[in-house]
Amino acid sequence: MIPIVRRIVAARVPDRATADDLVQETLARVLAAVERIEPGMVEPYAIVTARNVVATMWRDQDRQRRHQHRVVDLRPPELPDEDVLAQEDRHAMAEALTRLSERERDTLLAHEVSGQDTHSLAAELGSTAGAVAAQLNRTRARLRVEYLLAADRVEPPTERCRPVLLALSSGDRRRQREVDAARHLLECELCARLSEPLMGRGRSRDDEVRVAVRVDADVVAARQAARELAARLGFASTDLTEVATAVSEIVRNIVRFADAGEVLVELLDSPRRGIRITARDSGPGIPDVQEALREGYSTYRGLGLGLPGARRLMDEFAVASEPGRGTTVTMTKWREAG
C-alpha cells in the first residue's frame, strides 16, 4: 500500500520533504479508518485519501496566498471564517434533516433532542427496542451522508453513490461488499472525496489482526500473526503450526497472482472458541475453484495453489472467487471439538 501512496503523492507534489509529510498524513488517516472498512477496500481508500490529502494541501496554500495578498493590500479583515462555516453547517444539517423520511426524522429527534429512550420509542412505534436502536443507527448514517452532500451542495452523479456512501457511513462491511464500494470509490470522484469524513476513527479491537499483503515478507507476517493470536486461545503447538502453515499456503497466492490483498485473523467466541482467517485479494480470481481444490493436485502451480493442503489443515474452509474480481478464502480452526 505504501508504494502506491508514494507514487500518487510524488506524481502531484514535486518537493520531496512535503511529499513525505503527505504520505505520512495519508497513512495515519488510513490507519485510523482501517477498522471500519472491509479488507478489500483498504487500498482504494488509501488511494483516494492520498488524493484528498494532496488536494487539501493545495487548497491551504491557495488560501495562504490570498491572505498574503490581503495583508499587502491592508484591507480590513472580513468576517471570521468560523461564523460563515457555522452558518453553512447549520444550513446543511437542516437541509439533511428534510431529506429523511418523517418517521426517521421524528424518531431521531425524539431520541437525540428530547432524550426519549428506545424502549418507550419502541412501545409507541409497535416495535422492539433493538429494532429501534438499529433503525436509529441507520438514520444517523443516512444523516451524515445527506449532511455532507448538502454542505457540498451537490447531488450524487450516479444511482450507486448513495448506497455506497450509506454503506461507508454505517461502517457495514457486508453492505460495502454488496454494493462494491471499493470499485465505486475508484470510479467516482465525489464519493472518493466524501469517503474520508464518513470513515472517521474506528475503535481498535484486540481480538483481531489485519495484515496487508503485497510482498513475500507479508506472508511470514501473516502466518506469525495468526500463530500469535491463536496461541492466546491455548491451542496445542501442533495446531499452531498447522494454522501457520495453512496461512502460508493461502497467502502465497495473493503475492503470486494478485497485486495486493489483506489477511484478517479473528478470534471467535461462537459457536465455540476458534480462530478464523480471511484472506482476500482483488486479483484475477480462480477460474476453476473445484479443480484447484482437488485432493492430491500437487503439481498444480496455477491460481489457488496450496488450497487442498490448507483445507486439510483447517476445520472449515471456503473459497469464493470471481474471475477478474478477486478471491476470498475463509478458514477456521476450532479450539475444542464441537
- Cα angle, residue 201 at apex, residues 180 and 325 outer, rounded to 5°: 20
Q: What Cα–Cα distance (Å) separates residue 88 from each residue in 79, 92, 164, 329?
A: 14, 6, 25, 47
Residue span 162-201 as binding mask against another protein, x where in contact by CB under 8 A, dash where not:
----------------------------------------
Q: How far apart are CA 152 and CA 256, in angstroms?
A: 42
From residue 258, alpha-carbon distances to 183, 283, 303 in Å are 16, 4, 9
Of the candidate spans 9-17, 74-82, 158-166, 239-247, the one that interacts with another protein by CB under 8 A turns out to be 239-247
- Which CB atom, from 164 or from 313, has the smaller least distance to another protein? 313
Dump the DSSP string for 213-224: E-SHHHHHHHHH
Pairwise CA distance, residues 69 & 19, whole Å: 26
333 binds another protein (CB under 8 A): no
Which grid coordinates belong to 80?
A: 471570521
DSSP state of 39: G
144 binds, among another protein, Zn ion, none (CB under 5 to 8 A by kind): none
> Shortest Cβ distance from residue 218 to another protein (Å)?
8
Check residue 217 for interaction with another protein (CB under 8 A).
yes
Nearer to another protein among residue 116 and residue 224 (C-beta): 224
- Neighbouring C-alpha atoms within 13 Å toward the C-beta of 168: 33
Contact predicate 281/253, CB 8 Å: yes
Site for another protein in 243-282 (CB under 8 A): 244-245, 248-249, 252, 255
- Does the protein bind another protein through residue 54 (CB under 8 A)? no
| Contacted entry of Zn ion, another protein, none for residue 188, CB cut-off 5 to 8 Å set by kind | Zn ion
Question: Which lies closer to another protein via its Cβ, residue 199 or residue 225?
Answer: 225
Q: Least distance (Å) from Zn ion to the CB of residue 290?
A: 37
Distance (Å, rounded) from C-alpha 227 to C-alpha 235? Answer: 9
Nearer to Zn ion, 148 or 191 (CB): 191
* H helix or E strand, kind and range, residue 312: helix 307-313
d(CA 20, CA 26): 10
313 is a site residue for another protein (CB under 8 A): yes
Q: How many residues bind another protein (CB under 8 A)?
A: 27
- Chain residues that interact with another protein, rule: CB under 8 A: 216-217, 219-220, 223-224, 227, 237-238, 240-242, 244-245, 248-249, 252, 255, 296, 298, 305-306, 308-310, 312-313
